Amino acid sequence: MPDLDVAPDGRYLGGDIPFGYALWGDFLVEAPAELEACVTMIRMTRLGHDYAAIADAAEAQHGVRPTRAQYDGLIASVRRRYGPL
């Protein structure tokens, strides 16, 4: 996955758009349902659930289903910032 590239003024320059955000014009904006699903996915990961159960829960509770790559990207980002879950 290509790394996200954003200009200092916040303009999107390229790369994968993270789960929880959408492109609006030249800028990334929050996607509320996806951001709420992120919280669910992180909590379920901490409880030891597997990807299939987590994706099913995100879809059932928030109406969005992350791909495996989106899920892996989210969890990798959380671990980089905060350490082990």
Q: Enter the pTM of the model.
A: 0.86
Name 3's Cβ contacts closer than 8 Å, sequence gap at least 6.
Answer: 15, 16
Range of the domain at 23: 5-82
Domain total in the chain = 1
Return per-residue pLDDT of the chain as tens, 85 residues. Answer: 578 999 999 899 999 899 999 999 999 999 999 999 999 999 999 999 999 999 999 999 999 999 999 999 999 999 999 999 8
